[in-house]
Structure 1
Amino acid sequence: MGRLAGKVALITGAGSGMGKEMALLFAREGAQVVCADRSGMQDSVAAAIGEAAVAVHADVALSADVQNMIKLAEQRFGRLDVLVNNAGFGGGMAPLHEQTEALYDDVQAVNLKGVFLGMKYGIEAMLRSGGGAIVNTASAAGLIGWKNHSVYGAAKAGVVQMTRSAALEYAQQNIRINAICPGMVWTGLVKASAIHATPPPDARPPFGVAMGRWGLATELAAAALFLASDEASYITGVALPVDGGYVAGH
Protein backbone atom coordinates (compact mmCIF):
# COMPACT_ATOMS: atom_id res chain seq x y z
CA MET A 1 0.00 0.00 0.00
CA GLY A 2 1.42 3.33 -1.05
CA ARG A 3 1.00 6.65 0.71
CA LEU A 4 -1.62 7.72 -1.85
CA ALA A 5 -3.19 4.33 -2.45
CA GLY A 6 -6.74 4.62 -3.75
CA LYS A 7 -6.52 8.37 -4.30
CA VAL A 8 -7.03 10.40 -7.47
CA ALA A 9 -4.52 13.21 -8.02
CA LEU A 10 -4.40 15.99 -10.61
CA ILE A 11 -1.09 17.76 -11.18
CA THR A 12 -0.65 20.83 -13.36
CA GLY A 13 2.65 21.57 -15.04
CA ALA A 14 3.14 17.80 -15.13
CA GLY A 15 5.05 17.73 -18.40
CA SER A 16 8.47 18.54 -16.97
CA GLY A 17 10.48 19.55 -13.93
CA MET A 18 8.83 19.36 -10.53
CA GLY A 19 5.41 18.52 -11.95
CA LYS A 20 6.76 15.54 -13.84
CA GLU A 21 8.52 14.21 -10.75
CA MET A 22 5.34 14.73 -8.71
CA ALA A 23 3.29 12.77 -11.22
CA LEU A 24 5.76 9.88 -11.28
CA LEU A 25 6.13 9.79 -7.50
CA PHE A 26 2.41 10.05 -6.79
CA ALA A 27 1.77 7.16 -9.17
CA ARG A 28 4.45 5.04 -7.49
CA GLU A 29 2.71 5.77 -4.20
CA GLY A 30 -0.56 4.35 -5.50
CA ALA A 31 -2.43 7.34 -6.94
CA GLN A 32 -4.29 7.51 -10.20
CA VAL A 33 -2.91 10.64 -11.83
CA VAL A 34 -4.21 13.25 -14.25
CA CYS A 35 -1.18 14.89 -15.88
CA ALA A 36 -2.10 18.40 -17.03
CA ASP A 37 0.14 20.73 -19.03
CA ARG A 38 0.00 22.98 -22.07
CA SER A 39 3.35 21.87 -23.49
CA GLY A 40 2.36 18.49 -24.93
CA MET A 41 5.00 16.76 -22.79
CA GLN A 42 2.30 15.59 -20.37
CA ASP A 43 1.47 12.83 -22.88
CA SER A 44 4.82 11.09 -22.46
CA VAL A 45 4.68 11.42 -18.67
CA ALA A 46 1.26 9.78 -18.55
CA ALA A 47 2.44 7.09 -20.97
CA ALA A 48 5.40 6.33 -18.71
CA ILE A 49 3.02 5.83 -15.79
CA GLY A 50 0.63 3.61 -17.74
CA GLU A 51 -3.00 2.79 -17.10
CA ALA A 52 -3.05 4.68 -13.80
CA ALA A 53 -2.59 8.00 -15.60
CA VAL A 54 -4.26 10.16 -18.21
CA ALA A 55 -2.91 13.27 -19.93
CA VAL A 56 -4.83 16.44 -20.66
CA HIS A 57 -3.88 19.67 -22.40
CA ALA A 58 -4.65 22.55 -20.07
CA ASP A 59 -3.72 26.20 -19.88
CA VAL A 60 -4.35 26.97 -16.22
CA ALA A 61 -5.05 30.63 -17.02
CA LEU A 62 -8.17 29.58 -18.97
CA SER A 63 -11.28 28.77 -16.97
CA ALA A 64 -12.61 26.34 -19.59
CA ASP A 65 -9.37 24.33 -19.60
CA VAL A 66 -9.30 24.11 -15.81
CA GLN A 67 -12.91 22.99 -15.64
CA ASN A 68 -12.18 20.41 -18.32
CA MET A 69 -9.24 18.89 -16.46
CA ILE A 70 -11.28 18.63 -13.26
CA LYS A 71 -14.13 17.03 -15.19
CA LEU A 72 -11.72 14.54 -16.76
CA ALA A 73 -10.46 13.46 -13.33
CA GLU A 74 -14.04 12.83 -12.16
CA GLN A 75 -15.14 11.09 -15.33
CA ARG A 76 -12.05 8.90 -15.69
CA PHE A 77 -11.38 8.04 -12.05
CA GLY A 78 -14.61 8.94 -10.25
CA ARG A 79 -13.56 11.88 -8.08
CA LEU A 80 -10.70 14.23 -7.15
CA ASP A 81 -8.78 13.65 -3.90
CA VAL A 82 -5.55 15.58 -4.47
CA LEU A 83 -4.86 18.70 -6.53
CA VAL A 84 -1.39 20.11 -7.04
CA ASN A 85 -1.45 23.57 -8.60
CA ASN A 86 2.13 23.46 -9.82
CA ALA A 87 2.10 25.12 -13.25
CA GLY A 88 4.05 28.36 -13.39
CA PHE A 89 6.92 30.27 -14.97
CA GLY A 90 9.40 32.91 -13.88
CA GLY A 91 9.03 35.50 -16.61
CA GLY A 92 12.62 36.68 -16.48
CA MET A 93 14.48 38.92 -14.06
CA ALA A 94 14.73 42.70 -14.41
CA PRO A 95 14.19 45.87 -12.37
CA LEU A 96 10.52 46.73 -11.98
CA HIS A 97 10.56 49.72 -14.36
CA GLU A 98 11.87 47.44 -17.10
CA GLN A 99 9.09 44.90 -16.69
CA THR A 100 6.40 45.14 -19.34
CA GLU A 101 2.68 45.23 -18.75
CA ALA A 102 2.26 42.23 -21.05
CA LEU A 103 4.76 40.20 -19.02
CA TYR A 104 3.06 41.24 -15.79
CA ASP A 105 -0.28 40.03 -17.14
CA ASP A 106 1.18 36.69 -18.28
CA VAL A 107 2.99 36.02 -15.00
CA GLN A 108 -0.07 36.83 -12.91
CA ALA A 109 -2.39 34.84 -15.20
CA VAL A 110 -0.43 31.60 -14.90
CA ASN A 111 1.10 31.84 -11.44
CA LEU A 112 -1.79 33.41 -9.51
CA LYS A 113 -4.99 33.25 -11.53
CA GLY A 114 -4.13 29.67 -12.46
CA VAL A 115 -3.98 28.72 -8.79
CA PHE A 116 -7.25 30.55 -8.12
CA LEU A 117 -9.02 28.68 -10.92
CA GLY A 118 -7.53 25.36 -9.88
CA MET A 119 -8.65 25.84 -6.29
CA LYS A 120 -12.08 27.17 -7.25
CA TYR A 121 -13.04 24.21 -9.40
CA GLY A 122 -10.97 21.68 -7.47
CA ILE A 123 -12.66 22.63 -4.21
CA GLU A 124 -16.06 22.28 -5.85
CA ALA A 125 -15.12 18.72 -6.87
CA MET A 126 -13.79 17.90 -3.40
CA LEU A 127 -16.96 19.22 -1.76
CA ARG A 128 -18.91 16.81 -3.96
CA SER A 129 -16.80 13.83 -2.86
CA GLY A 130 -16.28 14.66 0.81
CA GLY A 131 -12.88 16.32 0.99
CA GLY A 132 -9.33 16.27 -0.25
CA ALA A 133 -5.92 17.91 -0.16
CA ILE A 134 -4.58 20.78 -2.25
CA VAL A 135 -0.90 21.64 -2.61
CA ASN A 136 0.01 24.91 -4.31
CA THR A 137 3.48 25.61 -5.64
CA ALA A 138 4.46 29.07 -4.40
CA SER A 139 8.10 30.13 -4.05
CA ALA A 140 10.69 31.40 -1.63
CA ALA A 141 10.25 34.60 -3.66
CA GLY A 142 6.73 34.80 -2.24
CA LEU A 143 8.07 34.83 1.32
CA ILE A 144 11.00 37.24 1.07
CA GLY A 145 12.13 39.87 -1.43
CA TRP A 146 14.16 38.84 -4.47
CA LYS A 147 15.95 41.58 -6.38
CA ASN A 148 14.77 41.91 -10.00
CA HIS A 149 11.91 39.44 -9.40
CA SER A 150 9.18 41.80 -8.18
CA VAL A 151 6.46 40.70 -10.61
CA TYR A 152 7.03 36.99 -10.06
CA GLY A 153 7.41 37.50 -6.31
CA ALA A 154 4.12 39.39 -6.15
CA ALA A 155 2.32 36.51 -7.86
CA LYS A 156 3.85 33.91 -5.57
CA ALA A 157 3.13 35.99 -2.46
CA GLY A 158 -0.45 36.02 -3.67
CA VAL A 159 -0.38 32.23 -3.85
CA VAL A 160 0.83 32.07 -0.25
CA GLN A 161 -1.93 34.34 1.02
CA MET A 162 -4.61 32.63 -1.05
CA THR A 163 -3.45 29.30 0.38
CA ARG A 164 -3.63 30.54 3.97
CA SER A 165 -7.04 32.16 3.62
CA ALA A 166 -8.64 29.29 1.72
CA ALA A 167 -7.26 26.82 4.26
CA LEU A 168 -9.29 28.60 6.95
CA GLU A 169 -12.41 28.62 4.81
CA TYR A 170 -12.44 24.86 4.21
CA ALA A 171 -10.74 23.50 7.34
CA GLN A 172 -14.00 22.07 8.69
CA GLN A 173 -15.04 20.61 5.35
CA ASN A 174 -12.22 18.06 5.20
CA ILE A 175 -10.19 20.00 2.64
CA ARG A 176 -6.59 20.77 3.56
CA ILE A 177 -4.76 23.47 1.59
CA ASN A 178 -1.01 23.99 1.84
CA ALA A 179 1.83 25.36 -0.27
CA ILE A 180 5.41 24.43 -0.96
CA CYS A 181 7.88 27.26 -1.51
CA PRO A 182 10.82 26.12 -3.65
CA GLY A 183 14.10 27.95 -3.58
CA MET A 184 16.82 27.34 -6.17
CA VAL A 185 15.81 24.12 -7.93
CA TRP A 186 17.70 22.41 -10.76
CA THR A 187 14.96 22.32 -13.42
CA GLY A 188 14.47 23.57 -16.97
CA LEU A 189 14.50 27.15 -15.67
CA VAL A 190 18.26 26.69 -15.12
CA LYS A 191 20.02 26.83 -18.51
CA ALA A 192 22.74 24.38 -17.49
CA SER A 193 20.12 21.72 -16.73
CA ALA A 194 19.75 21.23 -20.50
CA ILE A 195 23.28 19.83 -20.46
CA HIS A 196 23.43 18.24 -17.01
CA ALA A 197 20.37 16.30 -15.79
CA THR A 198 21.56 16.77 -12.20
CA PRO A 199 23.81 19.50 -10.78
CA PRO A 200 27.50 18.74 -11.39
CA PRO A 201 29.71 18.61 -8.28
CA ASP A 202 31.00 22.15 -8.79
CA ALA A 203 27.55 23.69 -9.37
CA ARG A 204 26.57 26.18 -6.71
CA PRO A 205 23.30 28.13 -6.56
CA PRO A 206 23.62 31.85 -7.32
CA PHE A 207 22.21 32.96 -3.97
CA GLY A 208 22.94 32.34 -0.30
CA VAL A 209 21.60 28.83 0.24
CA ALA A 210 22.65 27.51 3.65
CA MET A 211 23.09 23.95 2.36
CA GLY A 212 25.31 25.24 -0.44
CA ARG A 213 23.69 23.27 -3.25
CA TRP A 214 20.81 23.27 -5.70
CA GLY A 215 17.54 21.61 -4.81
CA LEU A 216 16.27 18.72 -6.89
CA ALA A 217 12.85 18.36 -8.47
CA THR A 218 12.54 15.02 -6.68
CA GLU A 219 12.96 16.77 -3.32
CA LEU A 220 10.11 19.15 -4.10
CA ALA A 221 7.98 16.22 -5.21
CA ALA A 222 8.64 14.49 -1.88
CA ALA A 223 7.47 17.57 0.02
CA ALA A 224 4.31 17.77 -2.08
CA LEU A 225 3.68 14.07 -1.48
CA PHE A 226 3.88 14.54 2.28
CA LEU A 227 1.41 17.43 2.29
CA ALA A 228 -0.94 15.54 -0.03
CA SER A 229 -0.86 12.36 2.04
CA ASP A 230 -2.74 11.42 5.18
CA GLU A 231 0.54 11.79 7.07
CA ALA A 232 -0.18 15.55 6.98
CA SER A 233 -3.78 15.12 8.16
CA TYR A 234 -3.43 17.83 10.85
CA ILE A 235 -1.61 20.33 8.66
CA THR A 236 -3.36 23.09 6.74
CA GLY A 237 -2.54 26.69 5.82
CA VAL A 238 1.22 26.09 5.76
CA ALA A 239 3.65 27.67 3.28
CA LEU A 240 6.57 25.24 3.55
CA PRO A 241 9.99 26.46 2.35
CA VAL A 242 11.84 23.70 0.52
CA ASP A 243 14.92 25.75 -0.14
CA GLY A 244 18.01 24.43 1.61
CA GLY A 245 17.70 27.08 4.31
CA TYR A 246 17.56 30.11 2.02
CA VAL A 247 14.53 31.76 3.64
CA ALA A 248 15.79 31.02 7.16
CA GLY A 249 19.00 32.88 6.35
CA HIS A 250 17.24 35.98 5.11
Structure 2
Amino acid sequence: MGFEPTRACAQTLSKRSEWTTIRLLQMVFIISGKRYNLVMENILLTDEWGKSYEKVIFPGKAEDEKILYATREAPMMLMIRLVGFSVVDAVTVLVGSLMIANMGKTLGFTYGGMVVIILLIGAVVMFGGLWWIAQVYKKTVFIITSRRLTKFIHTTPWTRYQMSLGLDKVVDSGAYSKGYIQAIFRLGTFVARSSAGNIKNFKIENIHYAEDLHNWMNKLMFIFNKDVKELDNFRPFVAKPMGKRD
Protein backbone atom coordinates (compact mmCIF):
# COMPACT_ATOMS: atom_id res chain seq x y z
CA MET A 1 0.00 0.00 0.00
CA GLY A 2 2.88 2.35 0.66
CA PHE A 3 3.92 2.23 -2.94
CA GLU A 4 0.58 3.47 -4.31
CA PRO A 5 1.35 7.25 -3.99
CA THR A 6 4.72 6.77 -5.62
CA ARG A 7 3.16 4.81 -8.47
CA ALA A 8 0.50 7.51 -8.92
CA CYS A 9 3.14 10.23 -9.01
CA ALA A 10 5.10 8.28 -11.59
CA GLN A 11 2.01 7.94 -13.78
CA THR A 12 1.31 11.67 -13.47
CA LEU A 13 4.88 12.56 -14.39
CA SER A 14 4.73 10.18 -17.34
CA LYS A 15 1.56 11.81 -18.66
CA ARG A 16 3.06 15.29 -18.23
CA SER A 17 6.20 14.16 -20.04
CA GLU A 18 4.12 12.83 -22.93
CA TRP A 19 2.12 16.07 -23.09
CA THR A 20 5.33 18.14 -23.04
CA THR A 21 6.81 16.03 -25.84
CA ILE A 22 3.68 16.47 -27.96
CA ARG A 23 3.74 20.25 -27.43
CA LEU A 24 7.42 20.40 -28.37
CA LEU A 25 6.76 18.43 -31.55
CA GLN A 26 3.86 20.75 -32.41
CA MET A 27 6.10 23.79 -31.94
CA VAL A 28 8.79 22.22 -34.14
CA PHE A 29 6.25 21.59 -36.90
CA ILE A 30 4.90 25.14 -36.63
CA ILE A 31 8.38 26.67 -36.74
CA SER A 32 9.37 24.41 -39.62
CA GLY A 33 6.24 25.43 -41.49
CA LYS A 34 7.00 29.12 -41.01
CA ARG A 35 10.56 28.64 -42.19
CA TYR A 36 9.30 26.75 -45.21
CA ASN A 37 6.92 29.59 -46.07
CA LEU A 38 9.77 32.06 -45.85
CA VAL A 39 11.81 30.23 -48.49
CA MET A 40 12.24 32.59 -51.43
CA GLU A 41 11.62 31.24 -54.91
CA ASN A 42 13.35 32.17 -58.14
CA ILE A 43 11.09 34.58 -60.01
CA LEU A 44 12.09 32.94 -63.32
CA LEU A 45 10.71 29.57 -62.23
CA THR A 46 7.45 30.36 -60.44
CA ASP A 47 4.14 32.12 -61.04
CA GLU A 48 3.50 32.82 -57.33
CA TRP A 49 5.12 36.23 -56.96
CA GLY A 50 3.04 37.61 -54.11
CA LYS A 51 1.21 40.91 -54.03
CA SER A 52 4.36 42.86 -53.17
CA TYR A 53 6.85 40.34 -54.62
CA GLU A 54 7.77 39.26 -51.11
CA LYS A 55 7.92 35.59 -52.11
CA VAL A 56 10.49 35.83 -54.87
CA ILE A 57 14.06 36.81 -55.68
CA PHE A 58 15.98 36.98 -58.93
CA PRO A 59 19.60 36.14 -59.79
CA GLY A 60 21.87 38.97 -58.64
CA LYS A 61 19.32 40.67 -56.38
CA ALA A 62 20.91 42.63 -53.52
CA GLU A 63 19.66 42.15 -49.96
CA ASP A 64 18.46 45.75 -49.67
CA GLU A 65 17.01 45.81 -53.19
CA LYS A 66 13.22 45.92 -53.36
CA ILE A 67 11.22 44.61 -56.32
CA LEU A 68 8.68 47.24 -57.35
CA TYR A 69 7.34 45.67 -60.53
CA ALA A 70 7.81 42.44 -62.45
CA THR A 71 6.07 41.14 -65.53
CA ARG A 72 6.22 38.85 -68.49
CA GLU A 73 4.76 39.51 -71.89
CA ALA A 74 0.96 39.37 -72.01
CA PRO A 75 -0.37 35.76 -72.00
CA MET A 76 -1.97 36.18 -75.43
CA MET A 77 1.52 36.55 -76.92
CA LEU A 78 2.27 33.05 -75.66
CA MET A 79 -0.97 31.79 -77.18
CA ILE A 80 -0.17 33.41 -80.53
CA ARG A 81 3.23 31.72 -80.63
CA LEU A 82 1.85 28.35 -79.58
CA VAL A 83 -0.95 28.44 -82.14
CA GLY A 84 1.36 29.73 -84.88
CA PHE A 85 3.91 27.01 -84.26
CA SER A 86 1.21 24.32 -84.13
CA VAL A 87 -0.26 25.44 -87.45
CA VAL A 88 3.15 25.52 -89.16
CA ASP A 89 4.03 22.08 -87.81
CA ALA A 90 0.67 20.58 -88.82
CA VAL A 91 0.84 22.05 -92.33
CA THR A 92 4.41 20.80 -92.76
CA VAL A 93 3.44 17.27 -91.69
CA LEU A 94 0.38 17.31 -93.97
CA VAL A 95 2.33 18.51 -97.00
CA GLY A 96 5.13 16.01 -96.32
CA SER A 97 2.66 13.13 -95.99
CA LEU A 98 0.88 14.07 -99.23
CA MET A 99 4.17 14.33 -101.09
CA ILE A 100 5.30 10.89 -99.88
CA ALA A 101 1.90 9.40 -100.78
CA ASN A 102 2.00 10.88 -104.30
CA MET A 103 5.57 9.67 -104.81
CA GLY A 104 4.55 6.20 -103.62
CA LYS A 105 1.66 6.04 -106.04
CA THR A 106 3.80 7.32 -108.91
CA LEU A 107 6.83 5.12 -108.30
CA GLY A 108 4.89 2.16 -107.02
CA PHE A 109 6.38 1.66 -103.56
CA THR A 110 4.70 1.16 -100.20
CA TYR A 111 4.50 4.48 -98.43
CA GLY A 112 2.30 3.74 -95.40
CA GLY A 113 5.23 3.20 -93.05
CA MET A 114 6.94 6.40 -94.18
CA VAL A 115 3.77 8.41 -93.57
CA VAL A 116 3.54 6.98 -90.05
CA ILE A 117 7.16 7.96 -89.40
CA ILE A 118 6.47 11.51 -90.63
CA LEU A 119 3.43 11.74 -88.35
CA LEU A 120 5.46 10.54 -85.35
CA ILE A 121 8.26 12.99 -86.09
CA GLY A 122 5.70 15.77 -86.47
CA ALA A 123 4.12 14.90 -83.11
CA VAL A 124 7.50 14.86 -81.34
CA VAL A 125 8.49 18.18 -82.93
CA MET A 126 5.14 19.72 -82.00
CA PHE A 127 5.20 18.73 -78.34
CA GLY A 128 8.89 19.60 -78.04
CA GLY A 129 8.35 22.96 -79.71
CA LEU A 130 5.35 23.83 -77.54
CA TRP A 131 7.34 22.99 -74.40
CA TRP A 132 10.28 25.06 -75.69
CA ILE A 133 8.11 28.12 -76.42
CA ALA A 134 6.36 27.89 -73.05
CA GLN A 135 9.65 27.63 -71.13
CA VAL A 136 11.23 30.56 -72.96
CA TYR A 137 8.11 32.65 -72.30
CA LYS A 138 7.99 31.78 -68.60
CA LYS A 139 11.68 32.47 -67.99
CA THR A 140 11.73 35.82 -69.82
CA VAL A 141 10.97 38.39 -67.11
CA PHE A 142 11.16 42.19 -66.87
CA ILE A 143 11.82 43.70 -63.43
CA ILE A 144 11.93 47.20 -61.93
CA THR A 145 13.52 47.52 -58.49
CA SER A 146 14.49 50.31 -56.12
CA ARG A 147 17.91 50.35 -57.84
CA ARG A 148 17.50 49.47 -61.49
CA LEU A 149 15.55 48.15 -64.42
CA THR A 150 16.60 44.65 -65.42
CA LYS A 151 15.37 41.96 -67.76
CA PHE A 152 16.20 38.32 -68.33
CA ILE A 153 15.77 37.32 -71.96
CA HIS A 154 15.86 33.57 -72.57
CA THR A 155 16.81 32.53 -76.09
CA THR A 156 16.48 28.85 -75.13
CA PRO A 157 15.14 27.14 -71.99
CA TRP A 158 18.75 26.93 -70.72
CA THR A 159 20.51 30.06 -72.00
CA ARG A 160 19.76 33.72 -71.39
CA TYR A 161 21.22 37.17 -71.31
CA GLN A 162 20.57 39.87 -68.73
CA MET A 163 20.42 43.59 -69.33
CA SER A 164 20.23 46.18 -66.53
CA LEU A 165 19.88 49.93 -66.37
CA GLY A 166 20.42 51.83 -63.11
CA LEU A 167 17.77 54.31 -62.03
CA ASP A 168 20.45 56.98 -61.95
CA LYS A 169 20.94 56.44 -65.70
CA VAL A 170 17.27 56.81 -66.66
CA VAL A 171 16.62 60.15 -68.36
CA ASP A 172 12.90 59.74 -69.04
CA SER A 173 10.33 57.14 -70.03
CA GLY A 174 7.50 56.71 -72.48
CA ALA A 175 4.81 54.32 -73.70
CA TYR A 176 3.34 53.59 -77.12
CA SER A 177 1.56 50.95 -79.17
CA LYS A 178 2.85 49.59 -82.46
CA GLY A 179 1.61 47.06 -84.97
CA TYR A 180 -1.70 45.31 -85.42
CA ILE A 181 -1.20 42.75 -82.66
CA GLN A 182 -0.73 45.38 -79.95
CA ALA A 183 -3.66 47.36 -81.33
CA ILE A 184 -6.00 44.35 -81.41
CA PHE A 185 -5.11 43.09 -77.93
CA ARG A 186 -4.67 46.56 -76.40
CA LEU A 187 -1.04 46.02 -75.55
CA GLY A 188 1.79 48.52 -75.41
CA THR A 189 5.52 49.02 -75.15
CA PHE A 190 7.18 50.76 -72.20
CA VAL A 191 10.53 52.38 -72.87
CA ALA A 192 13.04 54.04 -70.53
CA ARG A 193 15.58 56.24 -72.26
CA SER A 194 19.12 56.01 -70.93
CA SER A 195 21.94 58.50 -70.57
CA ALA A 196 24.44 55.62 -70.81
CA GLY A 197 26.16 55.43 -74.15
CA ASN A 198 26.11 51.64 -74.40
CA ILE A 199 22.37 51.36 -73.66
CA LYS A 200 20.05 53.56 -75.71
CA ASN A 201 16.65 52.33 -74.56
CA PHE A 202 15.28 49.81 -72.09
CA LYS A 203 12.07 48.32 -73.47
CA ILE A 204 9.32 46.16 -72.02
CA GLU A 205 7.18 45.02 -74.94
CA ASN A 206 3.68 43.57 -75.28
CA ILE A 207 2.33 44.40 -71.82
CA HIS A 208 -0.94 45.76 -70.49
CA TYR A 209 -1.12 49.23 -68.91
CA ALA A 210 2.12 50.43 -70.48
CA GLU A 211 0.99 54.06 -70.24
CA ASP A 212 0.14 53.69 -66.55
CA LEU A 213 3.54 52.11 -66.00
CA HIS A 214 5.14 55.13 -67.67
CA ASN A 215 3.30 57.53 -65.32
CA TRP A 216 4.24 55.39 -62.31
CA MET A 217 7.86 55.39 -63.49
CA ASN A 218 7.89 59.19 -63.51
CA LYS A 219 6.78 59.18 -59.86
CA LEU A 220 9.47 56.63 -59.05
CA MET A 221 12.16 58.77 -60.67
CA PHE A 222 10.94 61.85 -58.79
CA ILE A 223 11.22 60.05 -55.44
CA PHE A 224 14.58 58.53 -56.42
CA ASN A 225 16.05 61.93 -57.27
CA LYS A 226 14.51 63.55 -54.19
CA ASP A 227 15.38 61.05 -51.45
CA VAL A 228 16.42 57.44 -52.04
CA LYS A 229 15.38 56.43 -48.52
CA GLU A 230 11.73 57.14 -49.36
CA LEU A 231 11.78 54.26 -51.84
CA ASP A 232 11.40 51.87 -48.91
CA ASN A 233 7.78 53.04 -48.62
CA PHE A 234 7.14 53.42 -52.35
CA ARG A 235 4.24 51.26 -53.52
CA PRO A 236 4.88 48.65 -56.22
CA PHE A 237 3.11 49.07 -59.53
CA VAL A 238 -0.06 46.98 -59.91
CA ALA A 239 -1.04 46.19 -63.49
CA LYS A 240 -4.80 46.47 -63.01
CA PRO A 241 -7.50 49.00 -63.97
CA MET A 242 -7.78 52.18 -61.95
CA GLY A 243 -9.70 51.61 -58.74
CA LYS A 244 -8.70 47.94 -58.50
CA ARG A 245 -5.06 48.34 -57.52
CA ASP A 246 -5.34 47.93 -53.76
TM-score, normalising length: structure 1: 0.25
Higher helix share: 2
Radius of gyration: which is bigger? 2
* Alignment TM-score, normalising by the size of structure 2: 0.25
